[in-house]
Structure 1
Amino acid sequence: MLGADPVVTQIQLGLLLRTLRTSADLTALEAGAHIGLTNASMSRIEGGKQAIKPDDVLALLDIYRADDAATAEALRLASVPRPRARRKRGQSYRDAVPNWFKRFLVMESEASDVLVYENETVTGLLQTEDYARILLQSGAPMAGTHEIDKQVDLRISRQHILTRTDPAPPLLDLIMHESVLHRVIGDDKIMAAQLKHLVKVSKLPSVRLQILPFHPKPTPNRDEAFTAKSQFMLLRLPEQGTVLYLEDFTGATYPEDYTVIDQYAASFQRLRSAAADPAESRALIGRITKQYE
């Protein structure tokens, strides 16, 4: 999707090096000391925020005892030219993908499971083109039509992961608050089409969609009264474990504290307990759709 983008390959290399280091049972401090880098530098490299010289990659691969396949992939990624310096703010509207979002795209494409809670809008992987366009225009009112078209194309192209065959698609486990269905984005026509699309894609084997209704059924642990203040996403990566993704107006954060990640994972399960099951959720979406027709 992003080709041999230098930022993307730098992120992919960082993820691979972290996986190899963990498998070798070495700390970032120990690995960094081997090539003369600080623990902070190793953290930035593995997070895809700092480039690393091919010679240093080779040295790390040696102490990680990487096999031939991992070695070849790491060296391929390390050979891609480094990202150019960022443009100065205000020079022009950036019509490419922001670097912070490129890291997310890499992880989304590699995840085996994508767990999402949404309380504001339909998640990007399930948006129609018209719905996505309205949201993107509102987020960048100064952008031209060409820039918005590129952003829309990217958002829609991401959705192929739900129907791909090689590798297998990730499981999209989505909980949406009923308020998402009532908040009009665009107009009634756009909303009707969006809700019909939700029903359609919810039947895919790779999608589990549940709606948290305004009047949820009582649960033994009072999960129906549990509230999540904002949207969040958990991405389960086969090698790296679970990553927590929190997005705001200016970018995104990836909390690495396992306690925090566990709290969000537990919160997702509580929200699921109070949400309607997939069949009931489709029926609810269908009833609300009629209000827009």
Structure 2
Amino acid sequence: MSEALPSGQSAPTVLRIVLGKRLKELRESRGVSLEGAAKALSVSHLTIRRIENAQVSLKIPYVKELLRLYDVSEAEAEDFTTMAEQANEPGWWHNYKTALPDWFRAYVSLETAAEVIRVYEPHYMTGLLQTRDYARAVIRAGFPYEPEHALEHRVDLRLRRQALLGGPGSPKLWVVLEEAVLRREVGGPAVMRGQIERVLEVLDDPRITLRILPLAAGAHSGTSGHITYFRFREPELQDIVYTEVGLTSAVYLDQRPDVVTHLEAYTRISRLASELVPDTRTYLSQLRKEFTR
């Protein structure tokens, strides 16, 4: 397993990841070693590696010097530099940095830029589909001593993430929910009823597909935990898988064997859910009645 993205304060935007990979491709295609590139900038080879791996911001003087070293045309270098300047700008989520744990900052960047998002969720409704009341109850459970204003800031962030759905260029969202997600009463019957109604509404969106995996499925490929699988428009950026590790960390995977393993597991889970609950709308409509009391 490999951590594809840095966590912490330097969690990159997708554009920075793409540009770092382009710089690496340019260096290798010109036959320049890490040490050779480092010598041109009077830095260590580790600095070049960090630039290429999007672990540091793109210093514009460094970028220009590397592009000269790699014999990039003036027009291409100008476009690249402009994109580097854009990549260094903070994302919209910067305003929520106090509500974002270090290890989750890269996730929001990836989510915002993804063309396809596949989610397997064994515990709670996926954040992109949560109602405000449901989100508040879930977050309060995770942060029982959080002051009310800080809690609302976290809730606002979660709902702000949902803005990427439904608009032009919105990603395709595939979600597989464990039945336990829908039967675990979060916030009381009224909150659960509202959450189920929210999910029923999004079933009309052609870009959203939702499946339910019943408890009767028994043991299956996803019992190891949550999976989010990202696919991007940018050809330079390979698919990335996000998995959580305990309560305070996560792993981002981009090595092909890891990615393929998780995609195959997700595909099996999704197929099984479709076979066992072929009519998601009918299932949810019946379940909603159980929370009408």
TM-score range, shorter chain: 0.7 to 0.9
- Aligned partner of 1:73 in structure 2 is 83
1:20 Cα deviation after fit = 1.5
Higher mean C-alpha displacement, 272-281 vs 229-238: 272-281
Q: Tell me if structure 2 keeps the 8 A contact 1:29–1:42.
A: no
Matches within 5 A, 1:88-237: 95-165=98-168, 168-216=169-217, 225-237=220-232
Residues 139-189 of structure 1, C-alpha deviations (whole Å, 9 max, x = no match): 122211111111111110111111111xx1000011111111111111111
- Aligned partner of 1:250 in structure 2 is 248
- Aligned partner of 2:93 in structure 1 is none
Q: Tell me if structure 1 keeps the 8 A contact 2:34–2:49.
A: no
Amino acid at match of 1:266: E
Q: Tell me the secondary structure at the aligned position of residue 112 of structure 1.
A: strand
Taking a change above 3 Å as real, the CA distance of residues 101 and 34 of structure 1, as seen in their structure-2 partners, is same
Q: Distance in 2 between matches of 1:64 and 1:231?
A: 45
Residues 66-91 of structure 1, C-alpha deviations (whole Å, 9 max, x = no match): 8243331113444x59xxxxxxxxxx
Q: Distance in 1 between matches of 2:199 and 2:249?
A: 27
Q: Distance in 1 between matches of 2:36 and 2:108?
A: 31
Amino acid at match of 1:262: V
Q: Tell me the secondary structure at the aligned position of residue 33 of structure 2.
A: helix
Matches within 5 A, 1:10-49: 10-12=12-14, 14-21=16-23, 24=26, 26=28, 30=33, 33-36=36-39, 40-49=46-55
Residues 273-292 of structure 1, C-alpha deviations (whole Å, 9 max, x = no match): 10127861121111111100
Task: Count residues in correspondence.
Answer: 266
Q: Distance in 2 between matches of 1:267 and 1:38?
A: 41
- Aligned partner of 2:260 in structure 1 is 262
Candidates 230, 238, 244, aligned match of 2:233: 238
Structure 1 runs (4+) greater than 4 angstroms displaced? 7-10, 36-43, 223-227
% identical equivalent positions: 25
Taking a change above 3 Å as real, the CA distance of residues 30 and 98 of structure 1, as seen in their structure-2 partners, is farther
Q: Distance in 2 between matches of 1:282 and 1:64?
A: 58
Q: Tell me the secondary structure at the aligned position of residue 116 of structure 1.
A: strand
Q: Distance in 1 between matches of 2:282 and 2:35?
A: 55
Taking a change above 3 Å as real, the CA distance of residues 272 and 10 of structure 1, as seen in their structure-2 partners, is closer
Q: Distance in 2 between matches of 1:256 and 1:237?
A: 12
Amino acid at match of 2:211: Q
Q: Tell me if structure 2 keeps the 8 A contact 1:131–1:194.
A: yes
- Aligned partner of 1:284 in structure 2 is 283
Higher mean C-alpha displacement, 96-105 vs 172-181: 96-105
Amino acid at match of 2:59: K
Q: Distance in 2 between matches of 1:228 and 1:120?
A: 11
Higher relative CO (Cα under 8 Å, sequence separation at least 6) belongs to: 2
Query: Structure 1 stretches of 5 or more lacking a match?
Result: 1-6, 82-93, 217-222
Query: Structure 2 stretches of 5 or more lacking a match?
Result: 1-8, 91-96
